[in-house]
Homo-oligomer: A and B are copies of this chain.
Amino acid sequence: MQEIKKYVEDNKQRFLDELFELLRFPSVSADPKYKADVLKTADFVAAKLQEAGADKVEICQTAGYPIIYGEKIIDPSLPTVLVYGHYDVQPADPVELWDTPPFEPTIRDGKIYARGACDDKGQFYMHVKAFELMMKTGTLACNVKFMIEGEEEVGSSNLGVFVKANAEKLKADVVLISDTSMISMENPSIETGLRGLAYMEVEVTGPNRDLHSGVYGGAVANPITILCKMIASLHDENNHIVIPEFYDRVVELTPAEKEALNSAPFDLDEYKKDLNIQAEWGEKGYSTLERTGTRPTLEVNGIWGGYIGEGAKTVLPSKANAKISMRLVPHQNSEEISAIFQKHFESIAPEFVKVKVTAHHGGEPVVTPTDSIAYRAAEKAIFDSFGKNPIPTRGGGSIPIVALFEDVLGIKSVLLGFGLDSDALHSPNEKYDIFNYYKGIETLPLFHKYFAELSK
């Protein structure tokens, strides 16, 4: 432990400088105009893995953005840890709401502000530096494989193909991922479940052209009004989702699970204060932690139609569009839910309009075991560096790759994340605490140490 702390101490500034370099690449995978930047980011990651001491570093081409692979096999008889992360980031907009430029990392009271600071550049890069540390201090206890992709924020659409094609090369005993949050540094936690995702786009078409709202208004269905009515109908007065078959596969938590989940430290008033909301919202009969961790949800991620510029335009538009995504819980399947949604949304379209429903990427929900060697190794590592055992929690987000690994490679994952819910993932002013960054670099070698020991 001392040796680890010393190495981190001695290299503090360099570790930070390198992360800043990584954060300056606007590697937005959703927007084609950043293509060159995403590719540069991939090169950077490969170079850093090489420097850290990885062998067989490779920029693996895919139908989309490349996947960076690297490995260090010290002894085939030792267990192997496969580290997964992603170097792409969410779009930065609305850019005007950032206090400092999203791709110019800035430190304010101990926090690094930048798009990707926490999700996931700051977190996967801890593994690169922890790996360097173990190499330089000769403490590497397991074989290590890295797989850092560039399409997580757009659904990892090409990762499945890659994993299937490279099953042998990716053989490992555990997948280690830092792309999740802890309750707090005082209450370290490990997410043991993730929700799946089905992401849809809908288009409602009324008249074949934009119309003058004075000449036609009141006599022709307005696609915005119709879309609003359709969206409004997707939740009932108790905020249950009103889509036939949607809940069919959803399993209620046992009283014991409910209790364990709700025993996690959570302050609703703090939560509301942080978001500046008068009242929380959600499915009747469930707590906030249950709503985000264990229940499927439906959110409108975007809506647009008609005139959205300055001033006033009296138009009755031809089209209205929305992006709608659903978070899925264990046993739900993204393709099935996408089909169920499409069928329902088309069925509620009134005769006045035409509706087009298309599916974006999806991902499957997962629950990770808390009785595995890997989980216990993570527990011990956190106990050593935080002084207390982690609380198992259920995360609301989705990391489709986790389910993919189980299906294709038969490997379970450990979600050893060091972020915080307040890190503003996917929002303006995303941040990552410098403390958490270093804490992660210190904790990860301990995971490798205990994973090797417990695997004996």
Contact = CB atoms under 8 A, between A and B. Distances in A.
B427 A315 contact: yes
A344 to B, nearest CB: 16
Given A277-B221, A278-B352, A214 B327 contact: yes
A220 B268 CA distance: 11
B297 A217 contact: yes
A180 to B, nearest CB: 9
Interface string A215-233: 1111111101101110111
A311 B219 contact: no
Given A305-B303, A314-B197, A325-B314, A283 B209 contact: no
Contacts of A90: 313
A220 B312 contact: no
Interface string A314-355: 111100111101010000000000000000000000011000
B210 A428 contact: yes
Contacts of A321: 308
A361 to B, nearest CB: 6
A426 B30 contact: no
B315 A308 contact: no
Interface residues of A, number: 98
A69 interface: no
A313 B306 contact: no
A79 B301 CA distance: 62
Contacts of A217: 292, 297, 299, 327, 396
B312 A360 contact: yes
A435 interface: no
Contacts of A233: 232
A359 to B, nearest CB: 10
Given A281-B352, A297-B217, A303 B303 contact: yes
B91 A307 contact: yes
A325 B78 CA distance: 70
Nearest to A307: B302
21 contacts: A31-B309, A207-B277, A212-B396, A213-B299, A217-B299, A218-B296, A219-B291, A220-B282, A225-B300, A228-B300, A279-B351, A280-B352, A281-B352, A301-B313, A301-B317, A302-B306, A302-B308, A302-B317, A306-B323, A308-B323, A314-B426
